[in-house]
A and B are shown apart, each in its own frame.
Chain A
Amino acid sequence: MADLSLNLCGVQMKNPIIAASGTFGFGREYDELYDISALGGISVKGLCLGGRMGNPPSRLTETPSGMLNCVGLQNPGIESFIENDLPWLLEKDVAVIANFFGTSIENYCQAAEAFANTGVHMLEMNISCPNVHDGGVAFGVKPESVYEITKAVKQHSKQPLIVKLTPNVSDITENALAAQEAGADAISLINTLTGIAVDVHKRRMILANNTGGLSGPAVRPVALRMVWQCAKKVSIPIIGLGGIETGEDAAAFMLCGAQAVQVGTANFTDPFACPRIARELGEYCDAQKIANPQEIVGTLKSY
C-alpha cells in the first residue's frame, strides 16, 4: 500500500485529502458517520471575528454536474469556535486549517492573530468568497490588493498562511505570484465561479442572493487548468480543489502541480467521499507503482 503522507508547510499530514471549507462544518456532523481522523486535514467553515448571520434562503440549488450556493459565510465567530469546537477538533488526529475572513485589512489581521495561541495547524485566508459584499472577494481580485493584504496578514500569522484564490479574474497566475511575493506559505485554488440560476416559471432568480458560487464536477476542468498554470509560475505549495469526486480526480490535480487537494461538493453526493477518495488515491498509486503520490506532483506531460 502506498504511503500517502506529506509535509505541507511544516505540518505533517497522513494523506493529501482535506475537507473543503464550508462543506464540512467543524467536522462534528461527519464524525457521526466516520472517524474524521481518516483525513489529512479539515479546512473549517469560514470564520470571522464576532460571527456572521449569512444570507437569507434560498441558499443553494443544483446545476448541471454542480451546484450554486450563496450561504454567505454564516459562522458563530472565531471566539466561539476556539472555545466550543476547537478543543474537540484538536483531539482528532487531523490537521486543523482555520479558514477565516474579515471586513478590512486590519480586521483580517486581527482575525489571523486570534488563532495565535491556539493549536490550529494552518490558516487559510479567504479573499475569494463571491457571496458577501463587505469583504471577501473585494481583496482577492487585483494582484496589488492580494499582495497588500497577504503581506499585512502574514505579519500577524503565527501558523503557516494559505491564501485561497478566486477564479473570477482574468489571470489567476498574477494573483498566485502576488500571494507568493507577499509571503504566503501556500495557495489554495479554486474558490467557486460566480453564476446564477433562473426559475423560468416564476421568471425570477432561484437564489435569494441572486448570484451564487458554482462548485462540483462542472468546474473541475477550469480548476485543473488554473492549478496547472499556477504551478508553472509559483514555487510555494498548491492545494487544488474544484469538483474532486474520486481518487483519480485527486491524482489529476496532483499531476497538475497540487501537493494536496480539498474535497467539497462531493461530501454532499457521498457523505463518505473524503475517506473514499483517500483510499482510492492509494489504490491508484499501487496500480501505478507509485510509492507516495508526492512523486507525481507537477509531472503532467504536455502534448
Chain B
Amino acid sequence: MKDINAKVLSSDTLAEGLIRIILHAPEIACEAKAGQFIHMLVPDCGHVLRRPISLMAMDAAAGTLTLAIQPKGRGTQLICNLKEGDVVKCLGPLGTGFDGKDANTIYFVGGGVGVAPICGAMDAFATESSCAFFGFRTKAHAYGMTQAPCRVVAVSDDGSIGEKALVTKPLLAAIEEKRPDLIMACGPTPMLAAVQKIANEMGIPCQLSLEERMGCAIGACLGCNVKINLPDGSWTYKRVCKDGPVFTSEEVAFGG
C-alpha cells in the first residue's frame, strides 16, 4: 500500500457514460491483485473524501493500472476530466481481491460499471471452460468483451446487444449445462442479490465484490461497514475497504 502521484497516460471513452483512464503507477501496479481498488484524490480542493475506484486491469511490467470510471457526481466528474500528463494522488492497492486459483471452471458475472473489476478477475483466473455473463443497459454501454480470455455472453435491458434479459437468465442456463466451481460477481445490488440467491441455493461457492462510500479506505474509520453473516447465525459489521470489497455470498447480508 502506497500513496503516490500517478501520471495519467491516457483518458478516453470506453462506453456510453464510462471513461477509461490508464495510469502510470508502478509502485501500485507491482503489488495489485484482481478485485483490489485504489483511493483517488479528487483533483480540486473542497472534496475531502477520495473516491474508491476498482482496477479493470493491471500490468506490473509496464507499471500501469486501467480504470473504468462512471462520472456520477461532481467528484467522479472531475476525475474523469483528467487529461494525459495530469498527475493524481492514488492510495493503493487496497482491499482483499478475488481468489480463483483453486477453481477450474469459473462463471464471471458483471453488470454496468461492475464489469470492470470482473475483467481484471478474468485476466487473472479465466480458464478455457470459464464463461462470463455481462449485463448492460444498451449496446452503447457495452465494453470489456473484445479481449476477453474466455467466452462472454452479453445481455441488455433493451435487447440491443444479446438477449433482452437480466444477466441471471444466461447464468442459470449455463449452470444447468455445467456447474461451475466458483462464481465471481460485481455489479448493482439487485444483480448481486440475485446471483447470491442462485449460488447459495445451489451451493456453488461465490465471491461478490461490494461497493460502499468510503472515508479512510484503510480500515480505520468504519465508514464503509456492511452487514456480514457469521457461521453461528449471528451477524456483524465488516469493512468493505479492508475486509472486502470481495466477500463470499454466504457472508453478505443485503438489505441490512
Contact = CB atoms under 8 A, between A and B. Distances in A.
A216 B216 contact: no
A60 B224 CA distance: 8
A151 interface: no
Interface of A: 22-25, 28-30, 32-33, 45, 53-54, 56-62, 64-67, 69, 71, 74, 216-217, 265-272
B48 A65 contact: yes
Q: Is the interface of B mostly helix, strand, loop or mixed?
A: loop
5 contacts: A62-B48, A62-B49, A69-B221, A71-B222, A269-B48
A232 to B, nearest CB: 30
Nearest first, the 3 A-B pairs at minimum CB distance are A25-B220, A60-B223, A29-B220
Report the interface size class on chain B.
20 to 34
Contacts of A266: 48
Contacts of B46: 64-65, 217
A15 B237 CA distance: 35
B237 A74 contact: yes
Contact of B218 (A30, A59, A65, A269): A30
Contacts of B217: 268
A29 B3 contact: no
A267 B223 CA distance: 13
Interface of chain A, main secondary structure: loop
Nearest to B240: A57
A33 B49 contact: no
Interface in B218-244: 218-227, 236-237, 242
A59 B223 contact: yes
B256 A56 contact: yes
A132 to B, nearest CB: 14
A67 B213 CA distance: 11
A24 B220 CA distance: 5
A25 B221 CA distance: 6
A53 B237 contact: yes
A59 B222 contact: yes
Given A29-B216, A58-B212, A271-B91, A74 B48 contact: no
A54 B225 contact: yes
Contacts of B221: 22-23, 25, 60, 69, 71, 268
Contacts of A61: 213
